[in-house]
Amino acid sequence: MASSQPPLVLEPCTLDDMPLLSAVWFAAFTDPGLRRLWPDTPLVRAWWDRSNTSDFVHRADRQVFLKVVDPSTLDPATNRPRIAAYAKWDLCTPEERGSRYPPWCADMPGDECEVFFAREEQERQRVMGGERHYYLDTLATHPDYQRRGAGSMLVRWGVARAEHDGVGVYLDASKEGAPLYAKCGFADESLPGAGDVASMAIHRRS
């Protein structure tokens, strides 16, 4: 039986979308561990807005922001189709990218953030080594749009781009999110006892 829900649409983000992404992110991620690093305060939301806007403006040749929108529902704040999900794909190496985030704001535990993200970078290096690859930096789906294929659309865009360019793909996933990525061809390469974060990759070594 065909779904009665209207189809969602994949589009590139615009500069005007940047302040809207924070709301999607905080709705999508309620895990206490992440909320400790990024508490939901006005200061942290403003930090997210600045971070995304800076990357969108200054790293447009290396980072791609995509959104999935619901054409049947207008966002009352913008009178534009509501953003159901978004992703940021990083098409460069950590060395080319430089620092992943701007300085932490006062509401964030800076020392803990440094340790957490240094560990993520080390895992990426362990799994991918010197292999050229693209990185799924962020994927967030609003709870109202779970299980409607929004996340898969965003993941498959990056996988297809990487396949076309002949490079691998890497991402850090929650254990809950790992099955979505497995369906898109990713293998879990986490070490035993790695905790709640799964290191997932698609390799295209020659």
3-state secondary structure 37-88: HCCCCHHHHHHHHHHHHHHHHHCCCCEEEEEEEEEEEEECCCCEEEEEEEEE
**Residue at token pair 């793909």:** 169
Give dist(CA 152, CA 177) in Å, integer.
11
> For position 56, what pLDDT does the model report?
97
Give dist(CA 123, CA 120) in Å, integer.
5
Alpha helix (H) residue ranges in the chain: 18-28, 32-37, 42-58, 94-97, 110-128, 150-165, 178-183
- Structure tokens of 92? 């460069």
Residue range 9-202 forms a domain whose CATH class is alpha beta
Exposure string of 144-165, with b = 16+ CB inside 10 Å and e = fewer, is ebeebbbbbbbbebbbeebeee
> For position 178, what pLDDT does the model report?
85
Range from 110-114, 145-149, 155-159, 173-177 carrying the lowest mean pLDDT: 173-177
Q: Report pLDDT digits (tens) over 76-88.
A: 989 999 999 999 9
> For position 33, what pLDDT does the model report?
87
* Ranges of each domain in the chain: 9-202
Report residue 206's pLDDT band, with 50, 70 and 90 as the boundaries: low
Burial class of 131 by CB neighbour count within 10 A (0 to 12, 13 to 18, 19+): middle
In the predicted model, is pLDDT for residue 169 greater than 90?
A: yes
- State mean pLDDT over 193-197: 77
- State mean pLDDT over 176-201: 88
In the predicted model, is pLDDT for residue 184 greater than 70?
A: yes
**Of 18, 26, 9, which Cα lies nearest the Cα of 140?**
26
The DSSP output letter for 185 is T
Asked whether the beta carbons of 88 and 63 are under 8 A apart, the reply is yes
> For position 111, what pLDDT does the model report?
96
Which residues make Cβ contacts (< 8 Å) with residue 109, sequence separation at least 6?
Answer: 36, 37
Report residue 174's pLDDT band, with 50, 70 and 90 as the boundaries: confident
Report residue 1's pLDDT band, with 50, 70 and 90 as the boundaries: very low
Q: What percent of the chain has a predicted confidence (pLDDT) above 90? A: 81
In the predicted model, is pLDDT for residue 124 greater than 70?
A: yes
Tell me the pairing of strands 133-141 and 187-188. Answer: unpaired
Q: Report pLDDT digits (tens) over 17-60.
A: 999 999 999 999 998 988 999 999 999 999 999 999 999 999 99
